[in-house]
Amino acid sequence: MADTTYGSCCIDEVGALHIDAECVVHYGQTCLSPTSVLPAFFVFGKASINVSSCVKHLIDYASKSDKPIMILYGLEYAHVIPHIQEEIGLSKTESQLKLSVANILCSFISPSKDPRESMEHPRPYSESDSSDSLSSSRSYRLGGLTWDLPEGSKIEDYLLFWIGSDSSAFANVVLTFNGCDIVRYDAEEDSLSSFGVMCCRYYLVEKAKDANIIGILVGTLGVAGYLHMIHHMQALISAAGKKSYILAMGRPNPAKLANFPECDVFIYISCAQTALLDSKEFMSPVITPFEANLAFSRGSEWTGAYLMHFQDVINSVKSESEAHSGLEEPRFSFFQGGYVEDHKTNDQAKNGEEDTGETMALVQAAEKALQLRGNDHNSLTKQTAAKSGPEYFLRRAYRGLEINSENTSPEPYIVGRSGKASGYKHE
């Protein structure tokens, strides 16, 4: 089959079902996300790398740090890991280094009959406390890799040494383990790059809190649990008093999303490796389901843990909803510079005023969309932000010129200029 409709790292189950396939063999980059219907075999490929140079960079950097080192890598470099381990074993500093190497999760995936079991992917998540979920488990799975830590060890105590390019898989590692020191070895450039904590995603979370209309982008039709996550996002957005629309458009790009200017923010439902979109060129921010939980769940705070997989995100919301109770108070908006209240409150839901408010939304919008301030006809003030798509387009409609019914006398005509543009007659 040709390229997939969505991310190239996911299994194209839709395309395979069109030809009545019973199995899929996937070549190249993959996220090893669980499938919904068809079993799949994976061929990771073999990228070239200078083993001696990689080991030299690893040993030189490890000698400057007292932390144990966990070696992670892109799946295209899995074939050289035994050679790297052998090269390290031949070095004189092997006894001084504390090295651990991650293993490939699997090369074959079979769909599970239980939807909840099929959603369980990579790293296990503890419902007790999301803040230390990264350190409460000894077993880790991420990006097709799996590794175990000794008893009493934490992942934050390790230095993560990544072998591979600056890909989406590496970005997933940086966000998930943002409390660790991370070093990347670029095999093509034969150089090292160090990375710290990535806090730029926090800006998108704060931006999404002020959004009223949210677009849910369907970024996969093959990853198990995607439909459950879409329904979960709809319920979360509705509980926050906001409006959501589901959009299926394949791979999103700025031109496609520009057709939906009414959406203040987009939530991208996809696998872990394709969910992180650089939204600098987009008109509206594009966030992940985990960031949507932080934005639309009252009382939730970012503790540093970053969850990418569907089951982890849903479990985190359950634990937060049980801990949070009480009336919702106004929240502080960093972009508006003051306290704001959400459009929907608990009292309105109890008194049954929600249905009436939605029914009269367009009527109220027609009355308050545009108002004149004083006698200045050029001064138009927008009262509030639109809460739905129809209200947005109603406010965007052009009303035209104001008719002055008091003065009915015609305006006198004025003789214009005559001649050529290069020189009029009066010039």
Which residue did the predictor score with more confidence, 351 or 222?
A: 222
Same fold, 51-126+134-195 and 204-325: yes
Which residue did the predictor score with more confidence, 291 or 315?
A: 291
The confidence score (pLDDT) of residue 152 equals: 82
pLDDT(344) > 50: yes
The confidence score (pLDDT) of residue 267 equals: 92
Q: Where in the chain are the domains?
A: 51-126+134-195, 204-325, 360-396
CA distances from residue 180 to 194, 196, 427 in whole angstroms, order as listed: 11, 8, 76
Task: Check residue 323 and give left, alpha or beta (phi > 0: left; psi -120 to 50: alpha).
Answer: alpha
pLDDT(72) > 90: yes
Backbone angles phi, psi at 41, to 5 degrees: -105, 150
The confidence score (pLDDT) of residue 195 equals: 60
What are 378's two structure tokens? 């050029």
pLDDT(345) > 60: no
Cα 185 off chain centre by: 26
Mean pLDDT (whole number) for 263-280 = 83
Tell me the per-residue pLDDT of 150-186, one tens digit each, with 9 for 90 and over.
Answer: 888 888 888 899 998 888 888 888 888 877 888 899 8
Which residue did the predictor score with more confidence, 92 or 408?
A: 408
Backbone angles phi, psi at 165, to 5 degrees: -85, 175
CB atoms within 10 A of CB 138: 15
Tell me the per-residue pLDDT of 226-264, one tens digit each, with 9 for 90 and over.
Answer: 888 899 999 999 888 888 999 988 888 889 998 988 899
| CA–CA distance, 52 with 60 (Å, rounded to integer) | 12
The confidence score (pLDDT) of residue 368 equals: 44
| CA–CA distance, 33 with 31 (Å, rounded to integer) | 5
Beta bridge partners of 145: 104, 142
pLDDT(97) > 60: yes
| CA–CA distance, 186 with 85 (Å, rounded to integer) | 18
Second CATH level (architecture) for the domain 51-126+134-195:
3-Layer(aba) Sandwich (3.40)
What are 65's two structure tokens? 């740090």
The confidence score (pLDDT) of residue 225 equals: 81
CA distances from residue 400 to 61, 207, 403 in whole angstroms, order as listed: 68, 33, 9
**Comparing C-alpha atoms, which of 245, 252, 290, 279 is closest to residue 387?**
245
The confidence score (pLDDT) of residue 215 equals: 92
b/e for 187-210, b at 16 or more Cβ within 10 A? beeeeeeebeeeeebeebbebbbb
> What is the pLDDT of the chain when averaged over all its residues?
75
Answer positive or negative: Cα dihedral of 372, 373, 378, 379: negative
The confidence score (pLDDT) of residue 93 equals: 65
pLDDT(11) > 80: yes
What are 158's two structure tokens? 């390790």
**Comparing C-alpha atoms, which of 182, 211, 210 is closest to residue 198?**
182
Tell me the per-residue pLDDT of 295-324, one tens digit each, with 9 for 90 and over.
Answer: 888 777 776 677 877 777 777 765 555 545
The confidence score (pLDDT) of residue 427 equals: 78
Please give the span between the terminal C-alpha atoms of the chain, in angstroms, as a whole number: 72
| CA–CA distance, 228 with 269 (Å, rounded to integer) | 11
Cα 302 off chain centre by: 15
The confidence score (pLDDT) of residue 291 equals: 87
| pTM, entire model | 0.65
pLDDT(362) > 70: no
Tell me the per-residue pLDDT of 184-213, one tens digit each, with 9 for 90 and over.
Answer: 998 888 888 766 445 567 788 888 888 889
pLDDT(275) > 60: yes
Mean pLDDT (whole number) for 74-99 = 82
pLDDT(375) > 80: no
| CA–CA distance, 73 with 209 (Å, rounded to integer) | 35
| CATH 3.40.50.11860 corresponds to the domain 204-325 | yes
